[in-house]
Amino acid sequence: MKLKVGILGGGSWGTTVASIVAKNAEATIWARRKETVDEINEHHTNQRYLPNAKLTRSLKAVNTIKEAVENADVIVMGIPSQNLRAVLEQAKPHIRPWIPIVNLAKGLEISSKMRMTEIIEELLPGHPAGVLTGPNLAKEIHSGKAAAAVIAMVDDTIAKNLQPIFSSGLFRVYTNSDVIGCELGGALKNIMAIATGMGDGANAGDNTRAALITRGLAELTRLGVAMGGKKSTFAGLAGMGDLVATCSSDKSRNHHVGFQLGTGKSLAQIIEEMNEVAEGVKTAKVVMELAKDYNVPMPISEEVYKVLYEGNTIQQAFKGLLQIEIGSEKEPG
């Protein structure tokens, strides 16, 4: 018997995952806009977020959260991190007991500093909570280019049972039991992507990008391990893999924000021109608080934060990084 999967969120990644899942299971997606729902059902497209992409024909779109989740055996949350709690609260009365809930968002909640699986566990105790993450640029995956991801659940048996639902053709899904590490890798790398984007926009060069990616990995690993993640996770798909893809691609929303900042645009103007959320912009606030909570030095994140929220220029950011005292590569800084 095919599992029934309910996907909440009709953005680029939510729709891409829904289209993949529809090849392996009975998939129903909820989107906020009625126009999106009608387009998916009638034309099997979502031009707003995935231009010129054809979705799996069996994917069904619905107008209400209740319709998407009430009969589902698995719930997939394709909702931006700052909205996930509100959407999950709406879904809660209609979700059957004990079914797994898999998060796609790569961010941290500003008000609580919580990871998305922590919010799921708080609102729906008893439901296995996990994350699908990795170097996954939605438009590339939907166009059929090879990619790999990680499905992370504390219970490895559940992860292995969910693995085939998300795997398709050239999209290869691995399992991992380190939910904390996988989730933090996905959230923290977005700030590094803004940093490398700033460098690229200011024409800082390939050497600068390589240094930012490498030191950025060391920085996010320090905080991730302090918060309970495993060091090995940050060397894998959810850490280094996602970091390299997001910091190097013009398809990355966070790199795009950084690039535009690097060319001199204001953050307000950049956000206004985008039709999707760049998670790193808001995650930067949380990461600065977490760095203080765990007493972990985060120099790159701090300079990005100052550009985003304190009016610093790109030149001041790079000058700030260069002024950090030089130490061992294995030490902070």
Asked if residue 138 belongs to a known ligand binding site, the reply is yes
Q: Does the annotation flag 98 for ligand binding? A: no
- 333 labelled ligand-binding: no
* Catalytic status, residue 189: yes
9 known member of a binding site: yes
Closest CA to 128 of 175, 94, 78, 162: 162
Would you say 254 is a known binding-site residue? yes
**CB–CB of 94/66 below 8 Å?**
yes
Contact yes or no for 242/185 (Cβ under 8 A): yes
Which residue in the list 54, 139, 145, 189 is annotated as catalytic? 189
239 assigned ligand-binding residue = no
303 is in an annotated binding site: no
Instruction: Tell me if 269 sits within 8 A of 185, measured CB to CB.
Output: no
Residue 116: what residue type? M
- The answer on whether 30 is annotated among ligand-binding residues is no
Q: In what order do the strands lie in the sheet with 74-77?
A: 60-62, 26-30, 4-8, 74-77, 101-103, 129-133, 147-153, 171-176
Q: Is the dihedral of CA 183, 29, 169, 54 positive or negative?
A: negative
- Is position 176 annotated in a ligand binding site? no
Residue 253 is labelled as binding a ligand: yes
Q: Check the annotation: does 189 bind a ligand.
A: yes
Structure tokens at 277: 């959320």
12 is in an annotated binding site: yes
| 215 belongs to an annotated ligand binding site | no
262 in a known ligand binding site: no
Q: Is 226 annotated as a binding residue?
A: no
Cα gap 64→45, rounded to integer Å: 19
Residues 6+ apart with CB under 8 A from 265: none
Distance CA 231, CA 120 (A): 24
According to the annotation, is 249 in a ligand binding site? Answer: no
Is 173 assigned to a binding site? no
Binding site for NAD(+), by residue number, is 9-14, 138, 253
The residues that are catalytic are: 189
Binding site for sn-glycerol 3-phosphate, by residue number, is 106, 134, 189, 242, 252-254
Binding site for NADPH, by residue number, is 12-13, 32-33, 49, 106, 138, 253, 277, 279
Binding site for substrate, by residue number, is 106, 253-254
Binding site, by residue number, is 9-14, 32-33, 49, 106, 134, 138, 189, 242, 252-254, 277, 279
